[in-house]
């Protein structure tokens, strides 16, 4: 039986769209793509982009305070959530249209409906149609995970926060990852009284211990009430709010409860297992370095594979897949030394490479670190400090990791990642002349290690 298309992509997020556009537009493949919700996926529609715009919005109260310290006569006034949300919706509509336009220009056929696998080469559409494809790419991303417990039906997830009709007066955020911490800071900056429960010993597990401890301290100083070693036992409706009983026996009432306890691969009811595609313990599509699944004609990229769950990684995986299968240029996406940023406030966390804890497991290291008041906020009378940290291999002198806790740390870590990926040594950093006065100059003026081992 002949194939209708060379490639059928299930999922219109960043990874799937990139793969479809490159396969069709650059390599001449016949490509179709199905997306049941909105083009753009988690990042554009309900993740990175709207979240970062909310970060910007929530930072203005502190900026107004700083402005007064610098002599400006300004008043914050009242935040208009409705006006902001209208602008946000318009921006997301613009971005979705850009994604759609890029696909159409590349010659991709777009189906605005759900698609599932019927077999290794057949995709069944929700509207009843069937498409035969030589290759199928699963790029359905992930979805928020909420554990089962009494009252779980009362909670919101990060997806819901972009669609709130009004901001709550008080909110409990459950979780300690980057999504939980970012939204705790966002809502706190927008005037919501925020409490955060996390069952672990410290938020931002997986990041450098010193850096994540620094972030948690700054969050507390900024007004977020963080409780570690604490989880929710049950939630009951109480008038207009919700009574939350914690595992320590305490009970408090909140206007809303948001669960940010991680995400899981979005593979449910896609027909994958019936088609022979092997799934992992968390429901992820198990793939090799070429993004190929256990079924040769089925590939997967992005969060649905649960490798490195970041948008730029999904884009690179999608591009590498298209080049390999349709462009006669075999290559794999590189998952090493991927930089990351957590957009907390008043300081972001930027990280690339090994944490101090992981580096100590590899061999002897030297740790260079400095904590200081940044000029701009220090002048305004703020007492908090930033952190700059380099992890160095004591034998090769290569910089193994960089961790920054500071305003705009995400911007700084991008450039540090270039140097570290190129194999820069500590002496390379030392030979680089400082740009003064900046926070980032500290990275090239750290002369003596604070500890080694």
176 is annotated as contributing to ligand binding: yes
Was 180 annotated as part of a binding site?
yes
Annotated catalytic residue, options 27, 135, 154, 436: 436
Q: Is 361 labeled as ligand-binding?
A: no
Q: Which one, of 196, 197, 194, lies nearest residue 168 by Cα?
A: 194
Q: Is 280 marked as binding a ligand?
A: no
Give the integer Cα–Cα distance in Å for 115 and 270.
Answer: 7
- Quick one: tokens of 10? 């299930």
436 given a catalytic annotation: yes
Determine if residue 177 is labeled as part of a ligand binding site: yes
Tell whether residue 13 is among the known ligand binding residues: no
Q: Residue 252: beta bridge partners?
A: 244
- 321 marked ligand binding residue: no
The reply to whether 303 sits in an annotated binding site is yes
229 is in an annotated binding site: no
Annotated binding site for FAD: 52, 303
Give the catalytic positions in this structure. Answer: 436
Annotated binding site: 52, 175-182, 262, 303
Annotated binding site for NAD(+): 175-182, 262
């Amino acid at each position: 039986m002949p194939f209708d298309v060379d490639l059928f992509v299930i999922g219109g997020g960043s990874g799937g769209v990139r793969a479809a556009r490159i396969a069709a537009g650059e390599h001449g493949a016949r490509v179709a793509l199905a997306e049941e919700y909105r083009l753009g996926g988690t990042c554009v529609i309900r993740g990175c982009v709207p979240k970062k715009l909310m970060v910007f919005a929530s930072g203005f109260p502190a900026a107004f305070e700083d402005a007064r310290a610098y002599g400006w006569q300004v008043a914050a006034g009242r935040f208009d959530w409705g006006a902001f949300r209208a602008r946000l919706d318009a921006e997301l509509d613009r971005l979705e249209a850009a994604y759609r336009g890029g696909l159409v220009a590349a010659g991709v056929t777009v189906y605005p409906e759900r698609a599932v696998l019927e077999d290794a080469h057949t995709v069944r559409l929700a509207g009843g149609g069937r498409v035969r494809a030589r290759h199928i790419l699963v790029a359905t991303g992930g979805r928020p995970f909420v554990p089962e417990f009494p009252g779980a039906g009362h909670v919101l997830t990060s997806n819901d926060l972009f669609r709130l009709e009004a901001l709550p007066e008080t909110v409990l955020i459950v979780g300690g990852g980057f999504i939980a911490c970012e939204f705790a800071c966002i809502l706190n900056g927008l005037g919501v009284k925020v409490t955060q429960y996390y069952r672990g010993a410290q938020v931002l597990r997986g990041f450098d211990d010193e850096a994540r401890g620094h972030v948690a301290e700054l969050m507390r100083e900024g007004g977020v009430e963080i409780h570690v070693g604490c989880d929710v036992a049950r939630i009951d409706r109480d008038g207009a709010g919700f009574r939350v009983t914690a595992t320590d026996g305490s009970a408090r009432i909140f206007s809303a409860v948001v669960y940010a306890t991680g995400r899981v691969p979005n593979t449910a009811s896609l027909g994958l297992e019936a088609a022979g595609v092997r799934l992992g313990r968390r429901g992820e599509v198990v793939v090799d370095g070429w993004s190929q699944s256990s079924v040769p004609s089925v590939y997967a990229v992005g969060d649905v594979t649960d490798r490195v769950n970041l948008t730029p990684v999904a884009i690179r995986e999608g591009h590498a897949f298209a080049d390999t299968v349709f462009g006669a240029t075999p290559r794999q996406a590189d998952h090493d030394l991927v930089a990351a940023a957590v957009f907390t406030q008043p300081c972001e966390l930027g990280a690339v490479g090994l944490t101090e804890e992981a580096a100590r497991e590899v061999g002897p290291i030297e740790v260079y670190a400095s904590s200081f008041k940044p000029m701009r906020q220090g002048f305004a009378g703020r007492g908090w400090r930033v952190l700059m940290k380099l992890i160095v291999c004591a034998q090769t002198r290569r910089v193994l990791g960089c961790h920054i806790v500071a305003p705009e740390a995400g911007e700084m870590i991008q450039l540090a990642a270039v140097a570290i990926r190129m194999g820069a040594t500590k002496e390379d950093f030392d030979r680089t002349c400082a740009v003064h006065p900046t926070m980032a100059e500290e990275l090239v003026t750290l002369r003596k290690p604070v500890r080694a081992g």
